[in-house]
Amino acid sequence: MKNISNYLAPIIALIALLAIWEIFVYSSNIPIYILPAPTDIFLSLQSNFKDLLGSALITLRITIYAFVIAFFVSLFLAIVFSLSNILESSLYPITVIFQVTPVVAIAPLILIWVGLDNAELAILILSVIVAFFPMLANTNLGFKSVDQNLLDLFLLNGASKWQILSKLRIPFALPYILTGMKTSIGLALIGTVVAEFVAGTGSSKGLAWTIIESGNRLDISKLFAGLMLLILLGITLFMLMTAIERNLLKRWHESTQENRG
Amino acid sequence: MLKFTNVFKNYDKSVLADINMEVEEGEFISILGPSGSGKSTILRLASKLIKPSRGKISYQRNKPPSIGFVFQDATLMPWRNVLDNIILPLELKGVRRNISTKKAAEWIMKVGLEGKENSFPGELSGGQKMRVSLARSMVTDCDLLLLDEPFAALDEITRRKLEEDLLKIWKREKFTILLVTHSVSEAVYLSERVIVLSMGPGKIISDKKIFKENFDQDFRNSQQLFDLNKTVYNLLAREENS
């Protein structure tokens, strides 16, 4: 019973919010080019579905590529850092630079370097830059948090560096890695959209392009429809990561065992 | 089997000072001492996880024995089930899976965990986790078992049961045991020899042989054990108050 109400409560809240929005727009006579009602947005989504879906798939494709590249880059760097303190102290501060530099500030530079004809590659690079740091920071923390007694046990039994990495550090850090992945998948999407915005219209036909184009044409219903798809995409990716996390940790990690007596 | 000669260990400050002790094959020795007296450091030195700052640790036949180590926490890998946790030392040594599984199954029986092979540590009680840890430390047929306050976090009933089981296994397998404990009664009841360390930097202030007429349940309630407890307790209390 509690479970059903947990699912129903946010749905009812959302329906109520949309109803208030609809009533507010029509009762206040707000023009459609300022704030469309939810029904207008739904109708626009229906009539432009093919266009919007195509754009969403482009954004999704770049987001997934960026996320996968960021995952392997961060895992590789975290492994290197775990094997060498010198490399960690030299390279980690450099990776922080990527984290603290706003993507919009470096986007023009990346665009110039890869060429304006390769805007999609620039978007991919920018998205990787935005997405990789949380995964690196979390994986690195996970590798460092390994139980010292377990590490001693491995050393006592003559474990090689590779055995310590594959049988201890990586499984131990898995919850940390997955937390980083959950943060990064959202950031990869944000990075892709921001980079699409900065790259400008015509360079990539992702969702950001659709949103800008709709804004320029004052087709605010379509703009909102694009925004809705973007939100839906973000939520779906996050839920997918959460499902993967639950599946991988379900039998042994405390975070997935809150209902156990 | 193992000999400490004028062993000193310093970290930021001195932890152990001039430790001299010889451990004979098959002995069960307990090490008692106040907090910070360097008891656990002796185990880490014996296992070669750390090196002495001064002095020498030598092994019989100049070859380090095969060592099993049990920590205060069971220190299990939560992502591995009972069987896979016990197998770990064999896996790291490259023993074939079918052989290590057979060996682990034997130890699961010996520590009384039949039927729990596929359980994960999160599904076990504190006592069961410690049994897994004991089985894992002994699965390699170790010559020297190092126990660092293994029963400290357990309730009295579980603790007594595990003590009895450990004694049975020791008598059957005849390996050497070095046990670090805070409990005088545990040390006196379990071991043949009790070493008492001073406040840090730890020095050996007493090295006492315990002559027991028997090891059975009657011994736990005997006058002899009571007197031995009292003697060792007084030594320790004098050191704590000094």
Identify which of A242, A245, A223 has the alpha carbon closest to the alpha carbon of residue A234. A242
Confirm or reject contact between A155 and chain B (CB < 8 A): yes
Domain membership flag for residue B152:
no
Q: Which residues of chain A have pLDDT under 50?
A: 259-261
Q: Is residue B112 part of a domain?
A: no
Categorise residue B48: left if φ over 0, alpha if ψ from -120 to 50, beta otherwise: left
B164 falls within a domain: no
> Residue A12, CB half-sphere, CA atoms under 13 Å: how many?
6
Q: Diameter of chain B by CA atoms?
A: 56
Tokens (6 digits) for A160:
């090689």
CATH number at residue B202: 3.40.50.300
Q: Do A252 and B121 touch (CB under 8 A)?
A: yes
Provide the 10 A C-beta neighbour count for residue A49: 12
pLDDT (tens digit, 0 to 9) for every residue of chain B, 242 residues total?
899 999 999 998 999 999 999 999 999 999 999 888 999 999 999 999 999 999 999 988 767 788 999 998 999 999 999 999 999 999 999 999 999 999 999 999 999 999 999 999 999 999 999 999 999 999 998 999 999 999 988 888 889 889 999 999 998 888 999 999 989 989 998 999 999 999 879 999 889 888 776 666 677 778 878 888 888 888 778 777 76
CA distance A166 to chain B (A): 11
* In a domain? residue B232: yes
Of the residues B49, B88, B146, the best mutation for testing chain A's interface (the one with the most A CB atoms within 10 Å of its CB) is B88
Instruction: Take residue A137 and report the two structure tokens written for it.
Output: 């920071």
Q: Which residues of B touch A245 (CB under 8 A)?
A: none
- Is B216 a member of any domain? yes
CB atoms closer than 10 angstroms to residue B234? 11
Q: What is the DSSP letter of B106?
A: H
The Cβ of residue B226 has, within 10 Å, a number of other Cβ atoms equal to 12
Q: Is B11 exposed, middle or buried, given 0-12, 13-18 or 19+ CB atoms closer than 10 A? A: exposed
In a domain? residue B205:
yes
At residue B222, the pLDDT reads 80
Tell me the ipTM for this assembly.
0.89
- Tens of pLDDT, residue by residue over A146-163, are 999 999 999 999 999 999
Type of residue found at A240: L
Residue B54 placed within a domain:
yes
Question: A138 to chain B nearest CA, in Å?
Answer: 19
Question: Are B92 and A159 a contacting pair at CB < 8 A?
Answer: yes
Residue A168 in contact with partner chain B when CB distance is under 8 A: yes
B57-108: per-residue pLDDT in tens? Answer: 998 876 778 899 999 899 999 999 999 999 999 999 999 999 999 999 999 9
Sequence length of chain B is: 242
Give the E-state strand segments of chain B in sequence order: 2-10, 14-23, 28-32, 54-59, 67-70, 144-148, 176-180, 193-197, 204-209
Residue B74 CA to residue B62 CA, distance in Å, equals: 31
| Tokens coding A93 | 């501060």
Of A149, A153, A158, nearest to B93 by CB-CB distance is A158
Rounded distance, CA B168 to CA B181, Å?
Answer: 19
What amino acid is encoded at B27 in this protein?
A: E
**DSSP notation for A129-160:** HHHHHHHHHHHHHHHHT--HHHHHHHHHTT--
pLDDT tens track for A7-47: 889 899 999 999 999 999 999 999 999 999 999 999 999 99
User: How far is it, in rounded angstroms, from Cα A220 to Cα A211?
Assistant: 9
**Domain range for B42:** 1-65+170-242
Smallest Cβ–Cβ distance between B77 and the set A155, A171, A257 belongs to A171
Count: domains in chain B: 1
- In this structure, are strands B14-23 and B2-10 parallel, antiparallel, or unpaired? antiparallel
